[in-house]
Amino acid sequence: MTTDDLLTVSQFSVSYDVTPPVEAVRDVSLTVRRGEILGLAGESGCGKTTLAYGIQRLLKPPAVITSGSAVFHDESGEDFDINTMDETQMRAFRWEKASMVFQGAMNALNPIITIGAQLQDVFSTHRPAMSRTERRAEAGRLLDIVGVGSGRLRSYPHELSGGMRQRVMIAMALALKPQLMIMDEPTTALDVLVQREIIEQISDLRREFGFSVIFITHDLPLLLEISDRIAVMREGRIVEIDTARNLYQNPTHDYTRRLLASFPSLTGERGGFVRRPGEPALAVEAGSI
């Protein structure tokens, strides 16, 4: 570990206790550095979301962490071992130290509660000393930061576009100024132009506030554009991790080369992912059982 390390994941494994058992995450080791965007790429079902849920201790039965550790190195100098914290400590850790934008998050807002009330709930829970006026002011400031605008505090989710709802979820994740933000497919189901706006905003916010990002997606070309480093995941394992430039120019694992070749080129022939004969089926993502 160095002083630049924010999160150290070592030999981390997660299984689904079904018949037969499914090893969804297998001996994963990686480090997230302060202020970086770490991309996590791989096919659907390779264990990306399960790993993210495990790091946040959000897994539900039949999923269980079977081995390994995830240690958060706080800017105060204190280390937090996620596996050993009790539920009270974990509730304080989540959103305060590490927040998460969940897959399909733009549909996660309560449809009968205003945007402002849902944002203020974060402060009511984690900042009980704040007054109602302070909570409302901070909620408005967050909406301004993510480009929704404080004038939408009284709006209901159905009155916002998909892109605006996704921005609200990013505002919630930013609310307590976390040092790490885990983003699970944050641009899924958004059109291309809105995706571009969201990606640019995430990059701008990261530069402004200095938090680290674990960006999870199957879209490897997107990660090559925005990430400092990329970890490629296959069948529950990290098969390659390197800087985005090195991964693109000199991939060392056959699976990485096949992923890169599967995306269309503007000038070359149409690509396609070629599964080798006898390759085992993919594992399952969190929540799919």
Q: What is the pLDDT of residues 123-148, one digit of tens each?
A: 999 999 999 999 999 999 999 999 99
Q: Quick one: CATH architecture of 1-97+179-289? A: 3-Layer(aba) Sandwich (3.40)
SS3 14: strand
Per-residue confidence (pLDDT) for residue 289, from 0 to 100:
44
What pLDDT, on a 0 to 100 scale, did the predictor assign at position 271? 53
User: Which pLDDT value is given to residue 186?
Assistant: 87
Q: Which amino acid is at 184?
A: D
Residue 179: the pLDDT is: 97
Q: β-strands 63-73, 79-81: how paired?
A: antiparallel
Query: For strand 180-184 and strand 5-16, is the pairing parallel, antiparallel, or unpaired?
Result: unpaired
Q: Give the Å distances, CA to CA, from 245 to 44, 56, 92, 229, 242.
A: 24, 29, 37, 8, 8
Amino acid residing at 55: I
* pLDDT for residue 129: 95
What pLDDT is recorded for position 80?
Answer: 95
More confident residue, 193 or 213: 213
Q: Is the Cβ–Cβ distance between 273 and 260 less than 8 Å?
A: no
Phi, psi of 242 (to 5 degrees): -165, 175
pLDDT at 211 over 80: yes
pLDDT tens across 216-238, in order?
998 888 899 999 999 999 999 99
DSSP H or E segment with residue 241: strand 237-243
276 or 240: which leads in pLDDT: 240
Q: What is the pLDDT of residue 269?
A: 61
Residue 61, φ and ψ in degrees, nearest 5: -55, 140
Domain definitions of the chain by residue range: 1-97+179-289, 107-177
Task: Give the per-residue pLDDT at 286.
Answer: 54
Distance CA 93, CA 261 (A): 40
Token pair listed for 99 = 């927040």
The yes-or-no verdict on residue 278 having pLDDT over 60 is no
When pLDDT is cut at 50, 70 and 90, the band that residue 8 belongs to is: very high
DSSP structure string for 28-69:
EEEEEETT-EEEEE--TTSSHHHHHHHHTT---TTEEEEEEE
Rg of the Cα trace of the chain? 19
Q: Can you read off the two tokens belonging to residue 179?
A: 């040092």
Structure tokens at 153: 């505090």
In the chain, alpha helices (H): 48-55, 87-93, 115-126, 132-145, 162-174, 192-209, 220-226, 244-249, 254-261
Main-chain phi, psi angles of 91, to 5 degrees:
-65, -35
Mean pLDDT of the region 195-213:
91
Question: Which residues does residue 229 pair with via DSSP β-bridges, in sequence order?
Answer: 38, 243
Does residue 266 have a pLDDT over 60? Answer: no
| CA 189 – CA 49 distance, rounded (Å) | 17
pLDDT in tens, 49-83: 999 999 999 999 999 999 999 999 999 999 999 99
Q: What is the rounded average pLDDT of the residues 16-27?
A: 94
CA 174 to chain centre: 13
CA–chain centroid gap for 171, Å, is 14
